[in-house]
Amino acid sequence: MAEDGGAIRVERWGAVLVVTIDRPHFRNAIDNDAAWAIAAAMDRLDAEQDLFLGILTGAGGVFSAGADLKAARLGPRPLPDRGNFGFCRKPPNKPLIAAIEGFALGGGLEMALACDLIVAACGARMGLPEVRHNLVAVGGGAFRLPKRLPFHVAVEIALTGQPRPAEFFHQFGLVNRLAAPGEALAEAKRLAEELLANGPLALAATARIMRASADWTEEEAWRLQEPIVDAVRHSEDRAEGLRAFAERRPPVWSGR
């Protein structure tokens, strides 16, 4: 059952929370209300034990044009604790897949960069055009993009402001999977099904460690991963995983 939040739609697909940016007449640009609605959806994803991962997509064949610049002219408004676009500063603890159609520009690309995995339709356009409006990509794009792409490739994208097709980003590994136009969400769900075969607590812990560890030394990594791993080590799902292995059957995960 889909839940209509005005700026976004939220729908459960089994253990997956599908969050759809639903402002197609504004090219799914994010205003303050949309940012808060996305933040609420991410809070829900983290809070509900029987939700194991999320998918973020856009309505009307478009992912997002980024910030709603017309709304921004009204002046600054308080951001959610999760930061720009509802989650770029603090993504959910559970894995999140971006399903991109049409284009992901500016904040649209920054939202994709805040996700763990990216599925994009062939021909979709992605980029950081902020400099063309004398703006700076402050939603994470300026520092996340050069960590995901070769440095000079990322700098060219950011300083020219010119979008590139999804195929370009796929060849550098930023896009995990390409889909036929109109099929990005379906392909993201297929990817989600592959993840759902695995222990949900282990998925979340692994994603958290991989996100955070880019800034850890190896010595720090051994210490800082421990409290994240500890909850998985003592979970019901760990015991279920071992039982299922011994009994040669698929595990039934509870998220506990």
* Phi, psi angles (nearest 5°) of residue 53: -165, 170
| 130 flagged as catalytic | yes
Nearest Cα residue to 54 out of 15, 3, 112: 15
CA–CA dist 24, 30 (Å, integer): 11
Q: How many residues are present in the chain?
A: 256
As given in the structure block, the two tokens for residue 58 are: 């856009």
| Whether 110 is catalytic | yes
Q: Where do we find the tokens 């402002």?
A: 23
Q: Given 11, 48, 101, 110, which residue is catalytic?
A: 110
**Of 3, 130, 167, 193, catalytic:** 130
Cα(102)–Cα(11) distance, integer angstroms = 21
Q: State the Cα–Cα distance between residues 30 and 72, nearest whole angstrom.
A: 10
What residues are annotated to the active site?
110, 130
